[in-house]
Structure 1
Amino acid sequence: MKKMMLLLLSAVAFWGGDAFGKDRGKVTPSDSVEITKRLEPVIVYSHRRAEDLHIVPLSVSAFTPSKIEREGIVGIKDVTARIPNFYMPDYGNKVNSPIYIRGIGSKFNTPSVAFYVDNVPYFDKSTFDFDLFDVKSIEIFRGPQGTLFGRNSMGGTVSVYSKEPSSTMRNRLVASYGDYNFMRFLASHSNTYGKVGVAAGVSYAKRDGFFTNSFNGKKVDNLENLNTKFSVSYKPNETFTVKVIGGFGLNNDGGNPFNVYDASTGAFKDVNFNEESYYTRNMVNGAAVLSKKFGDFELRNVTSYQYFQDHQHLDNDYTAEDLYTNDFLQYQNLITDELVFLTPKIGKWSSQTGAFFFSQKMDKGFDIKNGNDVSRYMGVKDPSKTKNIPNAAVNTQTGEKSNGIAFFHQSQFSDVFIKGLNVSLGGRLDYENKKFDYYNAVKLPNPIVITTPSGVIKVPLPANVPNPMVTTKDYSKDKLVFLPKATVSYDLLGQNVYASWGLGYKSGGFNTSYDKSNPKTIAYNPEFAENVEMGVKTKWLDSRLMANVSVFYTDWRDQQINVFLPSGEGLMITNAGHSFTKGAELEVNAIPFTNVQLYGAYGYTVAKFLDYRMNDATVYDGNYLPFVPRSTLSLGGSYRINLDDRGNSTIVLGVDYERVGKHYWNDANAFSKFANAPSFQRPWFNINATVGYTYKNLNLTLRGKNLTNERYNTYMYEYEVEKFQNLYAQKAKPRMVFVELTYRF
């Protein structure tokens, strides 16, 4: 069966997939075989008004419902490389889901890219990775978006919008099955009942792991998740709308399938660790949206609440030895409210003015426990000062309460001085207060038992060593910033030429682990990015060809970076002095023939440290920023074959090519303890393909991902505690083929 699937996919590898019909109520024959002769306008919603992407004077990309379904996008990670200079590495599990746009991102601390779902902000990147379904748009803005989106939108903004309740009944059932015992089931309903609109859906997915733990023969990275969403709107008249949206997600994932580097062979060993690992997450979202129109003016308010709780248990050394285990827990309560007043175009002027408030409470807990085998790596002379002590445990608990308020305004002026010249000016005043509670307890066994080749040594703790050793701290900090932005655009013979300047900001914070000899390291400062860009958006050949080009330069100051603690146990965040990113982007969409669509996206980024000195002996000036691909490339196309004149039967063929360029793994651009190991990831690519058949309301699709079974690493890092040191890597997911059956009614 698998061979037949692969042969079928390979036979059509020069074509691209397309959606099986438009999702506009009940599916009719015309929905399934709509003739495509020109590119339809793409609408973006993130500026709180529906706008044609072609006239928005910003670097923004958008995925329509047909593109989302055609390319099989079920999570934000699937967008990697399909957007210029957009990279979301697919490694580990959902607890760490960083996003990088134009080289700006954050792996360990507060995200540098804002994330919104239906105008509701998601503050923590542990909430970014979830199943997407019934989505009408995915919009990605590149570059600082501080004026309208505020804090932590330095790299850009990702906005996801769900489909609205339909005016006629729309139901959808989806069932998928494939390699690695992959299963996915989806059911959704949408309809309007008088003045009430209802949309609801539920998805369930399960998959065995791609990698096997040779220690116990079990799969490592299995997953199982359940997600629901709903929207209920009430519109008593044409000027007033009330909408309640919400949902919850339950996730139960396996551990990280890290491989240990073998310096003697220059290769990575198979996955082999003794402690079973897992990650669980529960997340609940809810929001109330009120909209009141006064003629062409509109007052809109969005109040939201988000709760998530997660727990990660892992083998911290990823070896068969009994060394280190780690439990990491998070609890978040987040309340936000945004009030916006939108004015229509009055003469040459329009605007939006608003206020934003948030209150976030984040509690975290860390439990690190040492096993019996750590004595092989510890120093014996002064065991009271080493952390490599068998059966020692460290418990850290932190509580961070953040409150913020912001006021923002943006004005748009059209036909300034000359026809077609437009100017947008905006600013945001952002205030934030953070309070931080820190508790740390180190519990040591007494006596300390050390196993050596010559026998067992028992060393009592000195009388002056407290046990447990407890540290508590309370901190507070405030920050007030102003984030301006200016954009100029000009309609040049129907093409949109633009330039913009803006300031982005990411808040500072507190470390959950820090250098005890330097208490000031418990806090780190905010970072700022000043961005300049120019671009042009074009349409040609009666909208059969669209091409967008942009260039940018971002000056990045006080970048928050991760460094190892002096003890080697754990990481802390500090600020580098000065960095930059610069590059170019290109997007092309074309319909060269009826029912044939081609598309491509290319991004190029150079991101380096200008001034980064860890100490007198360690200088990283001129090094490349880690986790930043030099380039991203996506190519693909779609071809639809109508099998009858009545539109009851169609075939869809498809392929997509994605390539991610060279990128380094750490600030040093090298692994200090493993000089012969690869210090960077070479460019890698994936080929994905689809073959589909539609008969009336029934769709059968065969999808394949990474068809050539490319092998590369999605993450690498080195870890050292005294005499214990290892280099780890996680391999990319292998080829996967699955079939998908969809029924609409």
Structure 2
Amino acid sequence: MVKFLRHINLLFLFVLTSPIFSHAATDDMSSVPRIKEGPDTLAIGEVTITSIKQGRSLLRQPVSVTTLRQDELERLNVRGIKGASDIVPNFFMPEYGSRMTSSIYVRGIGARIDQPAIGLNVDNVPYLNKDAYDFDMQDIQRIEVLRGPQSTLYGRNTIAGLINVTTLSPLHYQGVRAMAEGGTHDNYRLGLSYYGLLGSRLGMSVSAYGSFRGGYFRNNYDGDKADRERLGSLRWKTAWRPVDNLLVENVASYGHTRQNGYPYFFEDTDEINYNDTCFYKRITFTDGLTVNWSTPYFTLASITGFQYVNDNLTLDQDFLPESYFTLTQKQHDRSVTQDIVLRGTKGGYSWLAGVFGFYKYANMNAPVNFGKDGIDNLILGNVNNMLPAGMALRWDQDNLFLGSEFTMPVKGVAVYHQSSYDWRNFSFALGLRLDYEHTALRYRSHSSSSCTMYRGERPLGSVSVDIDDSDRLSQHFSQLLPKFSVTYNLPHSAIFASVSKGYKAGGFNTQMFSEFLQQRLKQEMMGNMGGGQGGRPQTVAEESSDLVAGLVNYHPEVSWNYEIGGHFSVDHGRVYSSFALFMIDCRDQQLTMFPEGTTTGRIMINAERTRSTGGEFTLGYSPTPRWAFNLAYGYTHAVFRRFSYNGSEYKGNHVPYAPSNTLYLSATYRQPIKSTLLKSIGFTADMCGTGEIYWDEANEYRQPFYAEMGANIRFELPCGSLDIWGKNLTDTRFSTFRYESMSNSFFQRGLPVRGGLTLRLDFMSL
């Protein structure tokens, strides 16, 4: 299928480069710059967006967005989208577990497992697997965070918003960029990039990046750091403009991650102490081809993407020094996407239409291995409590292997359209998307073991337990996703109101299969011990299959977002401000829960109805070229309107994991210096605050509001910069995650005070 899509794009490219279709360039597709440009130095208030499906000026776009440019990202030491969590209002991506977790919450909407609620596009190519969201990148030119449903134009995984990441283009910059960093707690980073022109219209860049984190938290059991990490990446970007009105870009990237992961503290002892190995390994490969052709009448774009994710999560799932059980989850995930976008403008009317298709295929092997403590307490405990006095059932082996294997093909197609019309100072926009998705699950659960019944120390007889269940399940979903907005435009300002529908497809609870298999073992043991009737095992298997079919599915999540907002740029751009007020009615919100008692799995369930209300405000002010001030505040009140589970009523409680407040403040001063060795010195002080956060549906546990202070001193050199930086300088103690499992409470602490030096060298071609 990848080859087929490649052939389509090659044919598409051949047609567009032919003389018949070669037109003069429009304003959107300017020719190759003759003067090389350095990295952007615009601040948070910049309102330009690079997405193919969005207009260039956000002053006329009915959307709440924060744009972070390259200079700001480097000065704040932002390495990826997780770093934007400190700056963007109502955007929360905490650091806990491992890089596989990648949980993001926007305006009370988010996801901890399975499909993300926030879309991610890197150089226009969508990432469909949230396991690959958390990564470091070099030479990020821009990060744009759009808040609120973007499902009409972008479809799946954008019910809460969209993140666009754009990397530096070799057509806009030529030279060598290098980076070296050393920090406390044995933190080191290295990066090297080359950008060059192979011809007047062909540019190519190669970037290499690597980092090592020594870790902040120690496992008392073996003395090793529980969050040590190594990662590396390569990126090869090619940009070609064969004619003035055609741009072709291909970006191939490879990433490798190896981390210990999961520094979870046991609340009873306030320490990390587990006996089995925890680690997360990930290999990713992504390739995206974008072809963008512009004429005086319309613009046509083709975006083809391929992503491969190979990861291995192995962990001591009980996080205790006893041998309960370990989990290994190995996954091979391949996805192919194709998006065709056609847009045009005539007078006051502009339109956009497109078709999108994807295919995603994943194989997962997720065995659970029970040790002696797990067998005795979780498998045999309830069984032995029902036996007569003096009788006991004992496992014949020291461990119990529960195998689970899954194949998960998902495919979908969508058509979408958006029209907008300008009348006087008003702009009206109406969009509609028809989205169809089909998902399937093929599973196999198996285990083979034996146990013996004892009276005292005398064996009475053995029972073999052999289970091998398999089946195929499937679901399909279709949705109409409308959006309507009206914008009132003023010089350099706009006020808008919008109504939009968000959507996230349903799926399957693969993480509950170990629990199903445990229940099957107990049933088989009791059935065989109760007389060994020939028809019993088949009956149990049929009952188990019905149980799986009834519990493994979860439903789609649907929301309606009602929003008013505005963008304002005044005083010749020295002041930029935006605001938004929103209300989100969500039905069947997908929540991850840890069932009560000794259950070992996690389950995705649907909360019947939730509501999020709140607002956002940003302000950027530069009174002089030397001073810059930024403020970003977000407030979300997300509660259950109707939700009950296992006999508990949660109506009126806060939706867990989503913070009620986010706050960012910064002040920057830059002093020019007339010297051949130093161009300027800059000082930045910032503060980011988050909270409160509830950790469970019952709202029994919460993290109060906390704040972290940071500072940066930048020495701007003739060919680069040197930054001395510090984060969480007040050494604030807070939790980034908390949960209960097997009636035990665990939590992860936020990172302590830390600092470092970062040297960046920029040898720009002349």
Above 0.5 in TM-score? Answer: yes
Aligned-partner residue type, residue 480 of structure 1:
S
Aligned equivalents of 1:504, 1:112: Cα separation in 2: 10
State the alpha-carbon separation in 2 of the partners of residues 600 and 551 from structure 1.
17
What are the superposed Cα offsets for residues 161-180 of structure 1, whole Å, 9 maximum, x if unpaired? 11211455221111111111
Correspondence 1:735 to 2:753: yes
For 2:425 and 2:241, the matched residues in 1 are separated by: 37
The answer to whether the 8 Å contact 2:278/2:315 transfers is yes
Aligned position for 2:607: 576
Local SS of the residue matching 1:352: strand
Encode CA deviations 1:402-440: one digit per residue, 9 max, x unaligned.
11110011111112xxx1100111111111111210111
SS at match of 1:636: strand
Partner of 2:13: none
Provide the C-alpha distance between the structure 1 equivalents of 2:405 and 2:414, rounded to a whole number of angstroms. Answer: 30
Distance (Å, rounded) in 1 between the aligned partners of 2:454 and 2:629: 67
Amino acid in structure 2 at the alignment position of 1:443: S
User: Partner residue of 1:684?
Assistant: 706
1:235-286: CA deviations, max 9, x gaps?
2211333322111000011121111111xxxxx4221111121110000000
2:63 is matched with 58
Secondary structure of 2:170's aligned partner: coil
Q: Identify which of 200, 206, 219 aligns with 1:200.
A: 206
In structure 2, relative to structure 1, the CA distance for the partners of 1:40 and 1:441 (3 Å cut) is closer
1:733 shift after superposition: 1.1
Stretch deviating more after TM superposition (388-397 or 526-535): 388-397
Structure 1 equivalent of residue 315 of structure 2: 314
Which structure shows the higher helix fraction? 2
1:400 aligns with 2:408: yes
The 8 Å contact of residues 167 and 192 in structure 1, kept in 2 or not, is answered as: no
> 1:263-662 to 2 correspondence within 5 Å?
268-343=269-344, 345-374=345-374, 377-378=377-378, 379-380=380-381, 382=383, 391-415=399-423, 419-447=424-452, 461-462=462-463, 467-492=465-490, 494-512=492-510, 513=512, 516=544, 518=547, 519-564=549-594, 568-615=599-646, 617-644=647-674, 648-662=678-692
Q: Once structures 1 and 2 are overlaid, which stretch shifts more, 634-643 or 645-654?
A: 645-654
1:252 corresponds in structure 2 to: 258
1:39, 1:590 within 8 Å by CA — same for their partners in 2?
A: no
> Is 1:175 matched with 2:197?
no
Q: CA deviation at 1:49?
A: 4.8
Q: Alignment length, in residue pairs?
A: 687
Aligned residue in 2 for 1:8: none
Tell me: CA distance 1:380–1:583, structure 2 relative to 1, closer, same or farther (3 Å): closer
Q: Which amino acid aligns with 2:335?
A: L
Deviation at 1:387, TM superposition (A): 12
Contact 2:45 2:576 in 1 (8 A): no
Equivalent residue number for residue 699 of structure 1: 721
Q: Does the 8 Å contact 2:45/2:577 carry over to 1?
A: no
After TM superposition, give the deviation of residue 109 of structure 1 in Å. Answer: 2.2
Tell me: CA distance 1:520–1:708, structure 2 relative to 1, closer, same or farther (3 Å): same
- Judge conservation of contact 1:25–1:170 (CA < 8 Å) in 2: no
Q: CA deviation at 1:682?
A: 1.1
Question: How much does 1:376 deviate?
Answer: 5.5
Aligned: 1:664 with 2:682:
no
8 Å contact from structure 2 (residues 443, 472) kept in 1:
yes
- Name whichever of 140-149 and 508-517 sits farther off: 508-517
Deviation, 1:569, is 2.5
> By how many angstroms is 1:543 displaced?
2.0
Letter in 1 for 2:709: I
Maintained 8 Å contact 1:41/1:53: no
Taking the TM superposition and a 5 Å limit, the aligned residue runs for 1:718-733 are 718-720=740-742, 725-733=743-751
**Paired position in structure 2 for 1:265:** none
Unpaired runs of 5+ residues, structure 2, are 1-34, 387-391, 517-543
What are the Cα deviations for residues 479-509 of structure 1, in whole angstroms up to 9, with x where unaligned? 1111000110002465311000000100011
Question: Is the partner of 1:153 in helix, strand or coil?
Answer: coil
Residue 564 of structure 1, CA deviation: 4.3
What is aligned with 2:239? 233
In the TM superposition, what is the alpha-carbon distance from 1:574 to its structure 2 partner? 2.2
8 A contact 1:341–1:354 mirrored in 2 = yes
Q: How does 1:45-124 map to 2 (within 5 A)?
A: 45-49=50-54, 51-124=56-129
Would you say the 8 A contact 1:375–1:388 is kept in 2? no
Contact 1:562 1:571 in 2 (8 A): yes
Paired amino acid for 2:411: N
Flag the 1:73–1:563 CA change in 2: closer, same or farther, 3 A.
closer
1:125 — aligned with what? 130
Q: Is the 8 A contact 1:392 1:445 kept in 2?
A: no
Partner-residue secondary structure (3-state), 1:424: strand
DSSP 3-state at the match of 2:74: helix
User: What is the rounded CA distance, in whole Å, between the counterparts of 2:658 and 2:222 in structure 1?
Assistant: 36
Asked if the contact 1:39/1:591 (under 8 Å) is kept, the reply is: no
Tell me if structure 1 keeps the 8 A contact 2:44–2:630: no
> Structure 1 residues 431 and 39, CA, compared in 2 at 3 Å: closer, same or farther?
closer
- Return the letter of the residue paired with 2:202: V
Structure 1 residue matching 2:373: 3-state secondary structure: helix
Structure 2 counterpart of 1:665, which letter?
A: W
CA distance in 1, matches of 2:178, 2:301: 34
Q: Cα deviations across residues 583-623 of structure 1 (Å, max 9, x unaligned)?
A: 010000001233110001000000011111114x3111111
Per the normalisation by structure 1, the TM-score is: 0.88
Q: Residues of 1 paired with 2:45 and 2:263: CA distance? A: 43
Change (3 A) 1:467 1:692: same
**Secondary structure in 1 matching 2:710:** strand
- Residues 555 and 580 of structure 1 are in contact (CA less than 8 Å); yes or no, is this contact kept in structure 2? yes
Change (3 A) 1:230 1:716: same
Deviations 1:49-107 (A, max 9, x none): 55123222211111111111121110211111411100001111111111111010011
Inter-partner Cα distance in structure 2 for 1:387 and 1:543: 77
Amino acid at match of 1:501: V
SS of 2:110's partner is coil
Structure 2 distance, partners of 1:625, 1:459, is 52
Letter in 2 for 1:256: Y
Aligned to 1:210: 216
Mapped to 2, the partners of 1:694 and 1:110 lie a distance apart of 42
Counterpart position of 1:14: none
Q: d(CA) in 2 for partners of 1:388 and 1:61?
A: 60
What CA distance in whole angstroms lies between the structure 2 residues aligned with 1:527 and 1:503? 11
How far apart are residue 460 of structure 1 and its match?
A: 5.2
Q: Distance in 2 between matches of 1:686 and 1:104?
A: 24
Amino acid at match of 1:732: G
Whole-angstrom distance in 2 between the partners of 1:67 and 1:163:
14
The alpha-carbon distance between structure 1 residues 112 and 459, as it changes in their structure 2 partners (threshold 3 A), is farther
* SS in structure 2 of the partner of residue 382 of structure 1: helix
- Structure 1 residue runs of 5 or longer lacking an equivalent are 1-23, 263-267, 671-678
Q: Aligned partners of 2:458 and 2:49: how far apart in 1?
A: 68
In structure 2, the CA distance between the partners of 1:168 and 1:97, relative to structure 1 (3 Å rule), is closer
> SS in structure 1 opposite 2:451?
coil
The structure-2 alpha-carbon separation of the partners of 1:92 and 1:695, relative to structure 1 and needing over 3 Å to count, comes to same
What is the identity percentage for the equivalent residue pairs of Structure 1 and Structure 2?
Answer: 28
Preserved CA contact (<8 Å) 1:659 1:686: yes
Contact 1:285 1:306 in 2 (8 A): yes
Distance 1:117 1:546, change over 3 A: same
Mapped partners of 1:592, 1:388: distance in 2: 77
On the 8 A contact 1:356/1:407 being kept in 2, the answer is yes
Deviations 1:283-319 (A, max 9, x none): 0000222222333422110111100110011111111
